Amino acid sequence: MLDRIRKHMQIFGFIHFIFSSLKYVLIRPLSILLFILMKKLALMSGPLFIYKILGFHVALMPPPRKKIMSDLFKKSFKEKNKPLKFLEVGTWFGEGSTQLWIDLLPKKSELYLVDAWGKYISSGDSNDSMYQLVSTYNIGFQASHNVLKKLCYYEANKNYIDINFLRGKSTSLLKNFKEDTFDLIYIDASHYYKEVKADILAAKNIVNKKFSIICGDDLDKGINSELVKLAKLNLHKNYSDGFHPGVLLAVHENFQKVNEKDGFWWVYCIDGKYTDIYR
């Protein structure tokens, strides 16, 4: 060791030796600490409880709906070790269905998260002051950052499924997937008629035709003729009279019949045909 130090000083000089020593004794450990600090700072986001205090819920899935979705998964995909491909259209903070899919999917499965993380309520559409505030100031960045933070934690601690984070409008992104790609597609992005209809049409093109599920959120009251008429009069609204008009009409026009429970709806694709009956 002493011989190496002596040779280094002979070649590069005493000053260079001192500087190199300080680099390894002080600068290198300091650099490591700074990198750790930067990583911690980058992962920081606003505490979710603040949103709850304001009356804005970032996890929009109530426990009963979570159980319905979990039971549907276990019933429909009984081969526990078979890798699956799931697509979630509308992730938001990643605190609802996203976490459910991560917990349920078998090893080596693939989960695709698609969201624009932008304004999701048109100006002047909502009478709710909090949602109006959200629409005006757009918390999409905070929402997407929360998802990335969760994925960073997941990759460091679990990492048994492949999760793909895709930011952009679903109407554009879903066109990039091939036919017969997904075993399940969950639609919960925009609630306006044109967007929901476009998401459903795209989903029908890329689900596994042999067996798959297309499902979604916010079919609040089921479907009947009176609600269909009311929906047609309120397609410019995100939410009206206790239901989401755009979701109801888009689902009604694309499927002859769907299952619905607690606002969650689903339909099976079996041999290229859509049915509410599981076989």
The residue extents of the domains of the chain are 2-43, 48-275
Supply the CATH classification number for the domain 48-275: 3.40.50.150
Rounded Cα gap, residues 263 and 149, in angstroms: 29
Judge contact between 38 and 235, C-beta under 8 A: no
pLDDT in tens, the chain (279 residues): 556 645 554 555 555 555 566 566 566 666 677 666 776 666 666 677 777 776 666 766 778 889 999 999 999 998 878 999 999 999 989 988 999 999 999 999 999 999 998 877 776 665 555 565 665 557 788 889 899 988 988 988 888 999 999 999 998 999 999 999 999 999 999 999 999 999 999 999 999 999 999 999 999 999 999 999 999 999 888 888 899 999 999 999 999 999 999 999 999 999 999 999 997
**Which DSSP letter does residue 273 get?**
E
**Residue 12: its H or E element:** helix 2-12
**Which DSSP letter does residue 176 get?**
G
Residue of 177, 211, 38, 184 lying closest to 100 (CA atoms)? 184
Global pTM reads 0.83
